[in-house]
C-alpha cells in the first residue's frame, strides 16, 4: 500500500469532514439529481439561516466536492464527484474485507446445510 503524504491526508480529511454533515450530504444529492443549481434553490431545501448554509457550501468547495461559478448575480453550484473517487479508493479495502468475510460465512452455512 502506498504511503500517504501529509497533503493526501489533509485532502482526505477535508472530504470526510465535509461528508460528515447530513446537510452537506443532502446538498450533494440535490446536485447529483439536477445541476447546476443556484444557491437560492439549494438553500430552499433547508430550514437553516443563510450564513449557516453558506458555511456548508464553503466546506464542500474547500473539499473539492462542489464547484461554483457566477452567472450574472447568481452563484451556481455543480457537483464535482471526482473527489468522491478518493473516498471510494479509501473504502475499497474495507469492502473487500467484508466481501471475503461474507463469502466465508456462506461457505460455513453451506457446510452446515450439507451436514444436516
- What CATH number did the domain enclosing 97 receive? 1.10.10.10
pLDDT tens string 73-100: 999 999 998 888 888 888 888 888 888 8
Phi and psi torsions of 78, nearest 5°: -140, 140
Domain that holds residue 43: 6-115
Distance CA 54, CA 105 (A): 47
In this predicted model, which residue has the larger pLDDT, 21 or 106?
21
Within a domain: 1: no
Which of 5-19, 39-53, 100-114 has the least mean pLDDT? 5-19
Helix (H/G/I), strand (E/B), else coil: 75? strand
Residue 6 has pLDDT above 50, yes or no: no
Q: Is residue 21 part of a domain?
A: yes
Question: Which residue matches cell numbers 469532514?
Answer: 17
Number of domains into which the chain is organized: 1
Query: How far, in Å, CA of 105 to CA of 9, rounded?
Result: 34
- Residue 74 belongs to a domain: yes
Q: Distance (Å, rounded) from C-alpha 4 to C-alpha 41?
A: 38
pLDDT digits (tens, 9 = 90+) for 28-70: 999 999 989 999 999 999 999 999 999 999 999 999 999 999 9
**Residue 67 lies inside a defined structural domain of this protein:** yes
Q: What per-residue confidence (pLDDT) applies to 68?
A: 94
pLDDT at 8: 67
pTM (2 d.p.): 0.74
Radius of gyration of the chain (CA): 20
Residue 40 lies in a domain: yes
DSSP element (H, E) containing 79? strand 74-79
Opening angle at CA 34, ends 78 and 24, nearest 5: 60
Amino acid at each position: 500500500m502506498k504511503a500517504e503524504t501529509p497533503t493526501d491526508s489533509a485532502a482526505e480529511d477535508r472530504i470526510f469532514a465535509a461528508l460528515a454533515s447530513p446537510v452537506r450530504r443532502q446538498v450533494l444529492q440535490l446536485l447529483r439529481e439536477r445541476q447546476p443549481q443556484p444557491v437560492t434553490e439549494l438553500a430552499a431545501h433547508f430550514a437553516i439561516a443563510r450564513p449557516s448554509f453558506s458555511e456548508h457550501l464553503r466546506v464542500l468547495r474547500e473539499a473539492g466536492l462542489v464547484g461554483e461559478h457566477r452567472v450574472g448575480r447568481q452563484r451556481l453550484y455543480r457537483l464535482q464527484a471526482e473527489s468522491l473517487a478518493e473516498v471510494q479508493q479509501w473504502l475499497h479495502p474495507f469492502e473487500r474485507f467484508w466481501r471475503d468475510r461474507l463469502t466465508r460465512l456462506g461457505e460455513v452455512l453451506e457446510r452446515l446445510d450439507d451436514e444436516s
